[in-house]
Amino acid sequence: MTESDVNNELNELRRLADAGSADATDELIQLAAEQGDIDELRRLSDSGNATATDQLIELATEQDDMDELRRLADGGNITAAEQLEELTAE
C-alpha cells in the first residue's frame, strides 16, 4: 500500500466519521493512536469523542506532552489534570 493509498483511506475514514459513522470513527481513533497522531486525536476529541480524548491523554502522557495535557486539563478534563499532576510530581 502506497502512502497515497493510506492518505486516501484516512480521508475516507474522516469523511465517514464526520458523517456520523461510529465504526469509521472507532477505526480512525485506533489508527491515530497506533500512529501517534496527536493532531487527529485532538480533532476528534475536540468534536466531543470521549474515546479519542482518552487515547489523546494516553498518548500525551506517553510522550510527556505537558502542553497537551494542560490544554485538556484547562478545558475541565479531570483525567488529564491527574496525569499532569502525576508527571510534574516526578
- CB-based contact 44:17 (threshold 8 Å): yes
Model pTM score: 0.88
Instruction: Report the distance separating Cα 28 and Cα 58, nearest Å.
Output: 16
Cell 469523542 locates to: 49
Residue 15 is predicted with a pLDDT of 94
Q: Which residues of 73-85 are buried (b: 16+ CB within 10 A; e: fewer)?
A: beeebeebbebbe
Q: What is the pLDDT along the chain (90 residues), one digit of tens a residue?
A: 787 877 888 889 999 999 999 999 999 999 999 999 999 999 999 999 999 999 999 999 999 999 999 999 999 999 999 999 998 886
DSSP 11-55: HHHHHHHHTT-HHHHHHHHHHHHHHT-HHHHHHHHHTT-HHHHHH
